[in-house]
Amino acid sequence: MKLKINAYAKLNLFLDILGRRDDGYHEVLTKMCLIDLTDDVTLCVTDGGGVTGADSDNTAYKAAELFLKTLGVKRRVDIKITKRIPVMAGLGGSSADAAAVLRGLNTLFDEPFTLHELMQTGAKIGADVPFCVHGGCALCKGTGTEVAEIFPLPDCVFAIVKPDFDCSTKEAYALYAANPPPKTQRHEEKIYNVFEKLYGNPEIEKIKADFMKLGASGASMTGSGSAVFGVFAGVRQAEKALSGMDYTQKFIARPVGATLCGRP
């Protein structure tokens, strides 16, 4: 059995940290949407056992291993990933790959798990995986694993820039723990990212300002960074904005609905 499936990146349209939980994790509130910037994930299932094609610490490997264990079957799963989503950018590339593996294997094994069950499995792999399995645009709570409310997203186009530096999620949360910013009034309908306040990075602020000058209706960093996006009405406006920005990694993307992610 063989299947090629898209792994969709995500953007955080809103991201705030509500505090630290008793279990050591942080309570977050985030509005996310999937976009059509993708990795390609190819799965091949044969007789035998084990997962090949990815390192054991890779989220895609963990997803395949956990899927087989949960299903209670022994098969060999070979994973091939063609990367397009930048790493350490806040675009959820590793979560997207894990979600694609879960969705793909569920298809190859004739849908043994419901969407909710796949999301529960994904939560054991990473905070963004359940949303990446779910798709669409949603408000997520808890550690990010609880998809609380679904939102329709107006038709728009995202221009995305990945600066020439990476951001570590672990280091970002450590920065928050060491110096949490003052609490702000939350407006989930607005674009906001708490990590921007923590970083105070002039390059990120400049990219945001440039997007706004070039006609974006809003701009923000996504996740723990370092990618920054601007929201535009159409492709032409987004392309024009990116044309004058001197960065190697630049992308145009649209929101992706749940249907395109393999859901009815």
Q: What residues contact 186, with CB distance under 8 A and at least 6 apart?
A: 16, 29, 192
Report the DSSP pairing between strands 255-256 and 26-46.
antiparallel
State residue 264's pLDDT score.
38
Q: Which residues pair with 250 in a beta bridge?
A: 161
One-letter amino acid of 260:
L
Catalytic residue chosen out of the listed positions 10, 31, 62, 162: 10
CA distance 92 to 9: 6
Q: How far is CA 189 from CA 30, 153, 253, in A?
A: 11, 11, 20
pLDDT at 144 over 80: no
Percentage of the chain exceeding pLDDT 70: 94
Angle, vertex CA 56, rays to CA 53 and CA 58, nearest 5: 80
94-136: pLDDT as tens digits: 999 999 999 999 999 999 999 999 999 999 999 999 999 999 9
Is 128 catalytic? The answer is yes
State residue 186's pLDDT score.
63
pLDDT at 261 over 60: no
Q: Helix, strand, coil shares of the chain as percentages rounded to 5?
A: 30, 30, 40
State residue 116's pLDDT score.
94
- Mean per-residue pLDDT of the chain: 91
CA distance 133 to 263: 9
State residue 184's pLDDT score.
66
Element at 170 (helix H, strand E) = helix 169-178
| Coil, strand or helix at 92 | coil
* Domains of the chain as residue ranges with CATH: 2-150 (3.30.230.10), 157-256 (3.30.70.890)
Q: How far is CA 51 from CA 40, 43, 97, 98, 162, in A?
A: 17, 10, 15, 13, 31
**Lookup result for tokens 């309908």:** 189
Is 10 catalytic? The answer is yes
Catalytic residue chosen out of the listed positions 16, 39, 97, 128: 128
State residue 170's pLDDT score.
83
pLDDT at 187 over 70: no
Give the model's confidence band at 143: pLDDT under 50 very low, under 70 low, under 90 confident, else very high.
confident
pLDDT at 251 over 50: yes
State residue 176's pLDDT score.
84
16-57: pLDDT as tens digits: 988 777 676 778 899 999 999 999 999 999 999 999 999 999
Report whether the peptide linkage leading into residue 226 is cis, meaning its omega lies within 30 degrees of zero: yes
69-91: pLDDT as tens digits: 999 999 999 999 999 999 999 99
pLDDT at 257 over 80: no
